[in-house]
């Protein structure tokens, strides 16, 4: 990087790949949340829906979930408390370590999870339509390769 690149305003720099991926990810999250609300889950906010990351919440410890989504354990527990109060899940003792708790989805929580996954699929289809079959297949293949090759950070494990 040359020293004169520091003299250029931010608007003159091309966005990095990470910034571009973030914009797309935010759009996907907005689509998922809008679909969840449209499906009648009006007792949730975007932060609740944002807890769902592939492959889901079932069996996770709240501390693992906090690391996965990159927020404080207290914040995760507040969000889980709301979900628990509204009948989406329960936190039960971990069979491997009775001091720890794990998340168990209720039938209502599994329906919500399916709705979230359906909305994620709809967002993916919209992206596929924008890109067309060839470019979408290339994008998907490239992202799979990156997922396999890049070491996961503690927050994504």
| Contact residues for 66 (Cβ-Cβ < 8 A; gap 6+) | 72, 73, 75, 76
- pLDDT one-digit tens code per residue, 25-83: 999 999 999 999 999 999 999 999 999 988 899 999 999 999 999 999 999 999 999 99
Alpha-carbon gap, residue 105 to 18, rounded angstroms: 32
Cα–Cα distances in angstroms (integers) from residue 60 to residues 26, 113, 157, in the given order: 24, 14, 11
Identify whether the C-beta of residue 94 lies closer than 8 Å to the C-beta of residue 83. Answer: no
Measured N-to-C along each axis, helices 133-149 and 107-131 cross at an angle, to the nearest 10 degrees, of 120
- pLDDT one-digit tens code per residue, 69-118: 999 999 999 999 999 999 999 999 998 887 899 999 999 999 999 999 99
SS3 81: helix
């Amino acid at each position: 990087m040359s020293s004169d690149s520091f003299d250029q305003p931010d608007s003159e720099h091309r966005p990095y790949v990470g910034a571009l991926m973030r914009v797309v990810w935010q759009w996907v999250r907005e689509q998922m949340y809008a679909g969840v609300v449209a499906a009648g889950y009006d007792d949730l906010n975007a932060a609740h829906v944002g807890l769902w990351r592939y492959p889901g919440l079932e069996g996770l410890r709240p501390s693992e979930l906090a690391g996965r989504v990159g927020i404080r354990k207290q914040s995760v527990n507040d969000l889980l408390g709301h979900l628990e109060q509204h009948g989406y899940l329960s936190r039960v003792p971990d069979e491997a370590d009775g001091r720890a708790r794990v998340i168990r989805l209720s039938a209502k929580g599994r329906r919500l999870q399916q709705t979230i996954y359906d909305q994620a699929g709809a967002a993916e289809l919209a992206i596929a339509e924008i890109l067309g079959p060839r470019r979408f297949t290339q994008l998907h293949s490239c992202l799979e390769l990156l997922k396999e090759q890049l070491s996961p950070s503690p927050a994504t494990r």
